[in-house]
Amino acid sequence: GENVEQHPSTLSVQEGDSAVIKCTYSDSASNYFPWYKQELGKRPQLIIDIRSNVGEKKDQRIAVTLNKTAKHFSLHITETQPEDSAVYFCAANQGGRSQKLVFGQGTRLTINP
């Protein structure tokens, strides 16, 4: 089955700096990689996703890159703001066409003002 490793587990950056979170996956058939943001006590919310037919996707201050050969993908947040503080989860779908998402362990991001 799919195994998703996420690091770092905690990340603290100064407001305005960039933050990068990395994930690796094991299933070469995986083709969908979403990122979710979860604030304390709230539901996970999709912030960006990428499919295996592209290598990079950007949405304002958020970008995701995918390296299929190396089986890793990364979330990049630029010009960080205090409201970016949350736990971020990466995920990969198991078996390509499967609808099962396997999540990483999460990264607690803290933006220091």
Partner 1 sequence: EAGVVQSPRYKIIEKKQPVAFWCNPISGHNTLYWYRQNLGQGPELLIRYENEEAVDDSQLPKDRFSAERLKGVDSTLKIQPAELGDSAVYLCASSQIYGSRGFAEQETQYFGPGTRLLVL
Point out which residues bind partner 1 (CB under 8 A): 4, 6, 31-32, 34, 36, 42-46, 49, 51, 89, 91, 93, 97-106
Q: How far is the CB of 79 from partner 1 (least distance, A)?
A: 25
Strands 56-59 and 86-93: what pairing?
A: unpaired
Of the two residues 41 and 113, which places its CB atom closer to partner 1 in the complex? 41
Burial of 75 (0-12, 13-18, 19+ CB in 10 A): buried
What one-character DSSP code corresponds to residue 96? T
Of the two residues 32 and 78, which places its CB atom closer to partner 1 in the complex? 32
Q: How far is the CB of 16 from partner 1 (least distance, A)?
A: 28
Of the two residues 3 and 81, which places its CB atom closer to partner 1 in the complex? 3
Residue with tokens 């999460």: 106
Nearest Cα residue to 8 out of 112, 110, 87, 107: 107
Q: How far is the CB of 86 from partner 1 (least distance, A)?
A: 14
